[in-house]
Structures are given as C-alpha cells and as structure tokens.
Amino acid sequence: MSQTFRHPEILEIARREGKVTVEGLAAHFGVTLQTIRRDLTDLADAGRLERVHGGAVLPSGTVNIGYEERRSLYPDQKAAIARECAARIPHGISLFLNIGTSTEAVAQELVHHKDLMVVTNNMNVANILVANPDCEIIVTGGHLRRADGGLIGNLATDTIRQFKFDLAVIGCSALDRDGDLLDFDIQEVSVSQAILRQSRKTFLVADHTKFSRSAPARIASLADVDTFFTDRALPGPLGAECAAWGTEVAIATP
C-alpha cells in the first residue's frame, strides 16, 4: 500500500484513538518501522499530526503537547539551532533564557561560556548551568508549573522588570504565517513580553515544526526579534518580510 492510501487511514486512526504508534501502524499496514516514521514525519510537516515519542497525535490549537514529548522531538535540529545561537552569544554579558526545550538546548551549549549572568524562569535551565562555574544564575521566582519547570505569574514578571538584559534568548510554541510568535499559557505570554521589553537584543530559537502548529495567545512579532535561529527556510513570503523588518534569519543544519 502506498503512502497516498496510508496517510488518510493513519489520520482516521488518530482521530478515532487519539494517538497512533509507530509499532502499531507498522503491524497494521505490514510495512517497516522506518516507512511509518517517514509517513508520520510527512504528516507532521504538513501540519496534520504532531510527532510525539513513539508515534503521533492530532494537533491542538488550544493545548500544548506534553513537555517530555516535546523534549524528544527533533533533537538533532534543536541541537544544531542551539549551537548556532550559542556561537553568537558573547562572553561577559547578562542574558535571559526563558521556558522551552529549545532554550534548554541553548543552555547546554553555554556550559563553557565565561563571565555570564543568566536570569531565567526555567528551572531546567538553572540546573543545566550549575555545571558552569563561570555563570552567575538568578531564578525569577513565581508560580512553578510542574509540567515543565517553568516559573510564571506576577512574581516572575516583577523580577524581570528589575533588570535590563544585554540579550534574551526565547522560544515559542507556534509561529503563524504573519510572523506572530504564539503560545498557550497567557501567564507565560505576559512573562515573555516583559522579557522582550527589558532586553537590548533578542534571539528567537524555534524549529520548523512551529510553522505547522497553532496556539491562541500572541507574544510578539518576528519584527520584534533581532535574529531568528531555525533549521529550515521560512515558508511563503515570510523570509522577505523578515528582511524588511531587519530580522536576521539564521538557518542551522543538523
């Protein structure tokens, strides 16, 4: 059976059961695991499914997929984006890193940077950077979101307002065709907006799958970002719009 026939049936199984697994689909269609992984990647790239560990789920425009599932998605691409971003981060600056698996990947690349002061509302980032003795770490405080170690709410926002950062590295949950950065949690959006206001320069780190996702709350525009680090060329006319806005697009190759 060709993928032309498999794809609609995969989507129907996902709608019926809520999730599909690589092993289950391979047995159902009598094909290899690699064939099913290619099918799921194609459907995810088309925005029809979202990849999770071991399979895929239907995309949601109102609820984010689980943190551990997000962490396992496209690790090579995230690592390449993080390396490209970290190479542009100077030693001896003040830096904000916000919530997200992509910003955590950037933190991993900063463990040998010198004389950094990192402020973060991401407990995972703080724990990663403990390995860097030349990095001063400040955690914002706030309401702990146990699902991903994020700190959100008024206390986090109020802490951020006490600083003026040389650079902020932020992530987002989705990017639409207009170049708007989107997220699911309105409290997290408020924190991200405060970060942008208090930073002299902003880097965005987000892989290509964010263009096939949707989320209900707007953070900002790519026009508000200095450099956007991603792993594929931007869809449609968005690349030209970024050039007009003065937003650099840096494409990292895994």
Contact predicate 50/65, CB 8 Å: yes
Q: Which helix (H) or strand (E) holds 68?
A: helix 67-71
Report the SS3 class of residue 170. Answer: strand
pLDDT at residue 1 tops 70: no
Better-predicted residue by pLDDT, 223 or 72: 223
Type of residue at 124: N
**Tens-place pLDDT, residues 209-219:** 888 778 899 99
**Tens-place pLDDT, residues 161-174:** 999 999 999 999 99
Burial of 160 (0-12, 13-18, 19+ CB in 10 A): buried
Alpha-carbon distances, residue 111 vs 105, 106, 107 (angstroms): 11, 9, 7
Which pair of tokens denotes residue 96? 């904000």
Query: CATH 1.10.10.10: which residues of the chain?
Result: 3-59
Chain centroid to CA 2: 33
Report the SS3 class of residue 105. Answer: helix
**Tens-place pLDDT, residues 52-102:** 888 988 776 655 666 666 666 778 999 999 999 999 999 999 999 999 999
Please state the pTM of the whole predicted model: 0.78
Query: CATH 3.40.50.1360: which residues of the chain?
Result: 75-251
In eight-state DSSP terms, residue 176 is: -
Lowest mean pLDDT among 1-10, 22-31, 165-174: 1-10
Contact predicate 123/98, CB 8 Å: no
d(Cα 9, Cα 5) in Å, to the nearest integer? 7
Query: 53: closest CA among 36, 31, 70?
Result: 70
Looking at domain 3-59, which of 1.10.10.10, 3.30.470.20, 3.40.50.970, 1.10.287.3510 is its CATH number? 1.10.10.10
* Residues 6 or more apart in contact with residue 4 via CB below 8 angstroms: none
Domain 75-251 in CATH 3.40.50.1360: yes
Indicate the pLDDT class of residue 15, thresholds 50, 70 and 90.
Answer: confident
Q: What pLDDT score was predicted for residue 19?
A: 81
d(Cα 142, Cα 192) in Å, to the nearest integer? 14
Please name every residue paired with 183 in a beta bridge, in sequence order, or none if there are none. Answer: 217
* Residues 6 or more apart in contact with residue 6 via CB below 8 angstroms: 29, 31, 39
